[in-house]
Chains A and B, each alone.
Chain A
Amino acid sequence: MRNALKEALLPAGAIVAALLLFGVFVWFAGVHPAEVWLLLFKGAFGDWYSWQNTLQRAAPLMLTALCVAIPARAGLVIIGGEGALVLGGLASAGLAQGLSLPANSAGTALVCAAGAVAGGLWIAVAGWLRQYRGVNETISSLLLAYVAIGLFKHLVEGPLRDPASLNKPSTHALAEGLRIGGIGGSDVHWGLLAGMLACLAAGLWLRLTPSGFAVRVVGGNPRAAQLVGLPASRLILLACALGGAAAGLAGAIEVAAVHTSANASLIAGYGYAGILVSFIARHHPLAVIPVAILFGGFGAAGSLLQRRLGLPDASVLLLQGIAFVLILASEALRDTDWKALWARIGRFGPAGPAAAQSGMGDKIA
């Protein structure tokens, strides 16, 4: 527990520093920083309405973050979650359009499964290209995301388009019975629960099962994995497919719970924000849950910043960018021995024997 707290300290410090720096930026725009911080908090967690907005955004973020986190545990940097999300949404809407599904929870499950399969296959392609063709997975997954978005636009504006959608090309809306409703009549839909369960399941899988452990070995030390004869390629493909399935599920849930059909609103950048969430959570599925809620909150507060203070709608993107850079830079401080550092600083002042000793220990280490 103490360890977990220590792990969380650096990212938390980096987020605080990012908020401070963001305050400087808005100060240049003529807005008082304290006002922005207060509004960020209010817009994210201030009242029940804000909470609903925050949680609604956190649900897809958890799932797209898993699309980065699970492959990352296998040693891959996958950044194409947006493509899996978009295709997942398209597959779910397409399935509902092509087949007459039972308009009940079984139908909803099928719709979600279609999204997960589509997303899983898409990211598995990136894993396959890496293992069998030697193509860098970071670049290929991003290129695949652009391809997916192009395919999505082509199909939504062409073959799958509902002729009734005039201004905004969309697929046919999902039947009422297939949609995902709110929890207890609120705006927070059951997708939030799905996201949390997925994070929990991924965390337990990586921690408790042999296959999850094997994935971590492959990611942590490929040479050791090879020596003990782990099927690295198969495990990497599995990790990619699971991650992609999570992002695809996010797309299906967005369609079934928020947009009711697949249209351009689905391309909202959740896939890219998921990268940030996963990095801050240090690719730990359980830590993804609170981080996703925090960044869902920032997203929810963004429109409030725009309306109340006249800041550009990209303010939240800027905040995310600053946070990401600082989080990575804070990694450099990770193994700093604070006590030794403190002692070394202290040496210039009244140097006690204890300070000198720990200073020497630092040198030997």
Chain B
Amino acid sequence: MTIGRVTQRMLAQNSLGSVQSGLGRLAKVQEQLTTGRVLNRPSDSPTATTAAMRIRSERAAQEQYARNAQDGLGWLTQIDSTLGSVTDTVRRAREVGLQGNNTGSVGQVARDALATEVDGLRADLVSQANSTYLDRPVFGGITSGSKAYDDAGNFVGVVGNVNRRVGDGVVVKVDVDGNTVFGDGATSVFAELDGLSAALRSGNTTAIGASLDALAARLDTVTSARTAVGATQNRVERAAQSATDAKAALDGDLSNVENADLAATTVELQLAEVSYQASLAATSRVLQPSLVDFLR
């Protein structure tokens, strides 16, 4: 640029302009340092803003997945421990049946006592089948009632899926249909125990044997249901872990996009400060002298 004439006003305006722009840079860096963020409004970087918004919504989703998985684990743990008790109960009933089946050493009085124990075990089983998690019967599907089985051993729940979304598009069923474990009405474990109890009272060894076979089969059913629950539990735990990990990774990404690099920003502040001070110093020198100072 060729400079023809230079006037005092020009100098003054230029100085003012550069002091202003220096101060502007300082203010920008200061904002970044005091807020700790490089993104304070969309125009700071539209692309990074969009990225930050996406990461934020993905992070919220992962956080939610982890929460959903924890809730699902509550259900599954409750079902697992209940199925454990059910196994014990059915096994005990079978042992009692086996004792009763030994007609040589056990008399009718003892069998009656055993039948009473079987009745007690049946009552236990009904209450186990109605066990709840957060006031909902875990074997009752999506029923709005408080029970999965009535006292007669009929299924009164509503078959349906209690699902938990534990990942993007990953939905896990966290309940177990009571039907598949306990059966319903005449084909239920309750009817089987009723049969055993009646057979013990009547001393009918054939009937006792049939009941024992049925109970053995039931034991298998319960065990396999418990295995399936264990597998699901495993899966949900892994999903919870991966959602937590994903959230941590996204936190890092978000910080990369949104937050100011403290070291770099501090250096930038230093530079802005230096250039601002330089422009101030130059201004004070340039605006001082004029020819008038040198005339007598």
Do the two shown chains form a genuine complex with each other?
no
Q: Which residues of B contact A (CB under 8 A)?
A: none
